[in-house]
Structure 1
Amino acid sequence: MAIVGVMGSGKAEWEALSAPLGKWIAGRGFDLLTGAGLGVMLSTARAFSTTPGRKGRSIGIMPSEAHPVRGFAPLAGYPNPFIDLPILTPLPRKQADTPDDALNRNYVNILTSDVVVALPGSRGTLDEIRLATRFAKPLICIGPADAFDGVPPGTRLVSALEDVYAFVLATLDQIEANAPH
């Protein structure tokens, strides 16, 4: 089953984009991967999880902190209640003062996704966009152009969900066609 990673703000939900996207992903039978937090992650997972008849799972890659007994524990507020499969990594959330090449959970988000859809966000989302570009992951960004300042040149940016849907389907068809049978 294909995994569609949806990245975006941990504060703003961008519900006009995230909710229909979550429902569409569920309706197509794909798995959804997010960072398991609030904002876009919550709104997309909520729409995905409440879609009747869905077959896919909502996967959440959680940032963690050291714990004296368990080794690591999810940060407070993780996972949101719409995550079916929470994955705890020993990796932190991307911090503003860490170097661009510092390991963090964004690597897992990007490397696990078959295709990445980025909604507006802040530094963490920009880091995920850069990682998708670095690792040649299929990537499309949706939202106002000014919300994506600083993305790598050539990043595909659209304003209509229909363009996202077409990109995801074409990309997954191409991946399937190139898979060994």
Structure 2
Amino acid sequence: MSRESALRKLDLQRENTITELSELFEHLEPASRQPEEFGVWTVAGREGVTSRLLEFIDDAENEVIYMTVDELLTDDHLDHLAAAEERGVDIYLAGLSESVQAEIQEQIPSAKLFETLWAWGDEGAGSLLITDKRTALVSVIADRDPTDSIHEMGIWGTGKHNSLVVVLRAIFTWRLDTLSTESDQ
């Protein structure tokens, strides 16, 4: 076989292989996103924590459980929570003063306010967010500088088997179930 014949044969085999692979790829289902993660990650700074919180709220499809202190709740947070409500997401809020709760009820009428089992605002608590029983974020106010700027630090995890998510989901599922049972009586 001549060199030219061998090259044509190899080129034809390459083209056939590419065609076969292209046809096989067309029949494959799109890869499903695997959100299950077993680690816990940190996020530093108020801007970083807020960005992650808003991302989780925006991705929520069924439920948002959100505890925070008055000074961390901004109009931006309320706008994202209101958008979640418009998508049909159930919103549960806690840890806020009565005046802030009244403001929230005006902006997000279907939000269910609940009392925590502990004084959330004590000792530098920041925010706690659980969405769709698959993501969780907890933050603390780590420090304040002389300009009264808030330095917030947080940890977050995702996946229905993630340890952080499992523990927080268990605590709040129990608490919200208890409240639901009390209101039915």
TM over 0.5: no
- Name the structure where helix makes up a greater proportion of residues: 2
TM range (shorter): 0.3 to 0.5
Structure with max Cα Rg: 2
Q: TM-score, normalised on structure 2?
A: 0.36
Higher relative contact order (CA 8 A, sep 6+): 2
